[in-house]
Amino acid sequence: MTDDSRTVQVPLEDLTFDVTVAGPDDGVPIVLLHGFPESSASWRPITPRLTATGLRVIAPNQRGYSPGARPVAVEDYRIDHLVGDVIGLLDAFGLESAHLVGHDWGAAVAWQVAGRHPDRIRSLTAVSVPHPTAFGWALREDADQQRRSGYIGLLRTEGKAEAVLLEDDSRRLRAMFGHDNDPDLVETHVRLLAEPGALTAAMNWYRAMAPDLSDLPPVRVPTTYVWSTADPALGPAGARRCGEFVDAPYRFVVLEGGSHWIPEENPDALADAVLARVALS
């Protein structure tokens, strides 16, 4: 399988996004949203599998990660803006609708896009992060998920989070990826976040989080949720309740023993799940 990916710049109002595109221009579109502390490069391992079936991959470096889309105010990273970026991207490419895949924070945004704009989304594959209402319930009610999410407090602390993650040549930032991740991909992510203002912009996604994560109604598009049993950040409580908040065909894919970094470490299993969802939708 060959990789024909290229990066294009897409202006959306006063911001400009770096977007990786691959596959045939007339292929069925699929938008891939990365998480933290990653970049669109996290999708490289699965892109050839997707384009080989004729899909047109569109993978942006999201708000704060693209140098031309890095506003400084915390409020610029509210979920409304993040959702608007995805819809703006569809409009910029002239797409009435697309399949949507998101991992980590990208999944959180993807759930919101699918919930708010079901007419624009053909199918959803959410990776690691469950429906916001399921996750919000777990944060309130499940001690295990509360423990797993303890790191969020640090990331929301302005200045301290940046200092801790970037000191000693970004040692702790690199350590977040574990030992099984592709070193070249890790370096790509770390170099991007070491750019002036980039890590603060990424932290602003956490700092702009709404206190209530339970205001999104059930999603009404065909959905697959992929979760790993050894994910240190996302526990089973929210994962198992996710399907209660999908009012459409739903599939729950469990990767036994897999870590949080599904796109990089389990690309074949993830590609299988994505392609199965696309084929059914």
Q: Annotated active-site positions, please?
A: 104, 206, 260
Report the candidate in 210, 102, 88 with the shortest Cα–Cα distance to residue 156.
210
Sheet strand arrangement including 250-255: 6-12, 15-22, 55-60, 28-33, 98-103, 121-127, 223-228, 250-255
- By the 10 Å C-beta count (0-12 exposed, 13-18 middle, 19+ buried), 209 is classed as middle
Cα atoms in the 13 Å half-sphere on the side-chain side of 211: 0
**Buried residues in 127-160 as b, exposed as e (16+ CB within 10 A):** bbbbbbbbbbbbbeebeebeebbeeeeebbeeee
Q: Across-strand partners of 56?
A: 29
Query: How far apart are the C-alpha atoms of 118 and 220, rounded to whole Å?
Result: 7
DSSP-assigned states of every residue in 191-219 = HHHTSTTHHHHHHHHHHT--S----PPPB
Asked if the bond preceding 267 is cis, omega within 30° of 0, the reply is: no
Total residues belonging to the chain: 281
Report the candidate in 87, 88, 102, 155 with the shortest Cα–Cα distance to residue 132.
102
Helix, strand, coil % (nearest 5) of the chain?
A: 45, 20, 35
